[in-house]
Amino acid sequence: MTESDLIEFNLKLRAWAEKYIKWSPWHPIDGALLLSGLNPSNRWDTLKACDWGSLEHRAVSKLVSDAADSANMPIEEPKGAPLFNQLPVGEPEGARLFKSESRRRLRDVCTILEVWNDFCEGLLSDGTSVPTELRYDEFVGWWWEYGDDSPLRNSTYFDAFVELCQFPSKKNNNHTPFDLVRQAASRGAEARNSDTHKKHDLIMEIEKARDSARRSGADQYSAADVFPLLVEILRTGESRNATLVEFIEKKSLTYRKDGANTIMRFDSFARYLRKRRNHERAS
């Protein structure tokens, strides 16, 4: 995925998540689908009629598979959802769903609903009825609290809802904050429209490093402050597309992206930040 693809995906992701936040309250089945990156539809209504709290784990997987394989109900392309490797279009065979990204998403639905079933079992044991409607933040908060022992295969969509709910991020959260995405999109557009700024293909990582510098009280325009933070982002895997190959302090870093190694020199980076400072203060 290119930098522009990542920015576009995250912008669509926020719009998609905000749409379903307004759709609140959620049925827990719809919540499980949304946190897994799937659009709710009447295809899954059979799951809502199940006796949650009384099912075996293997029964949950079978129920999800049967719902995905609903007769005469072809899978339609999700409208407005930022989903790569989308569910097969117009193919009702459930087996086709359990491939690639679609397979991981359905397994995540099973994971969430297995935990939900256990949670409901506890409610019933205490004489409490099983809820059929929850505010979006209640359901996201429930999974935030109870999902640690059952990690999702793809937490992208859950992490997006976590940010919109303003819950603390989990340690393994690789989600890029939406404000940084908007900043990166803006910076990228400015750089493309200005002949005074060198184009960088690490714009998302640079903005994240500058944001870290700002939050720590350091100078976001100082290469001495920002360069090490950029190195750390590449070293620790926070970048989705680039990895650190070599770092020579105050001289250069080498990163690998799209199958090729690129050298970024410290002095060139310092000049880039000075140009950013001059441009932003003049705006």
Task: Identify whether 212 is part of a domain.
Answer: yes
Asked whether residue 273 is assigned to any structural domain, the reply reads yes
Pair 202, 157 in one domain: no
Give the per-residue pLDDT at 155: 84
Does any domain span residue 34? Answer: yes
160 and 251 in a single domain? The answer is no
- As for how many domains the chain has, the answer is 2
Give the end of a domain, one of 101, 132, 165. Answer: 165
Q: Which amino acid is at 62?
A: K
DSSP code string of 146-159: H-TTS--S--HHHH
- What do you get for the CA distance between the two ends of the chain, in Å? 31
HSE-up of residue 182 (Cα within 13 Å, Cβ side) = 5
Same domain, 38 and 130: yes
* Structural domain that includes position 276: 178-282
Mean pLDDT over each residue of the chain, to the nearest integer: 77
Q: Are residues 93 and 223 both part of a single domain?
A: no
Pair 185, 72 in one domain: no
Whether the bond into 82 is cis, omega within 30 of 0: no
Query: Is residue 261 in some structural domain?
Result: yes
- Whole-number Å distance between alpha carbons of 112 and 28: 10
Say what the pLDDT of residue 162 is: 87
Which tens digit of pLDDT belongs to each residue from 35-79? 988 888 888 889 999 999 999 888 998 998 888 776 333 343 344
Cis omega (within 30 of 0) on the bond before 25?
yes
**Residue after which a domain boundary falls, among 165, 190, 213:** 165
Q: Is the pLDDT confidence value at 138 over 60? A: yes
Whether 173 maps to a domain, the answer reads no
pLDDT higher at 254 or 175: 254
Same domain (yes/no): 231, 128: no
80/200 same-domain check: no
- Domain match, 192 and 264 both: yes
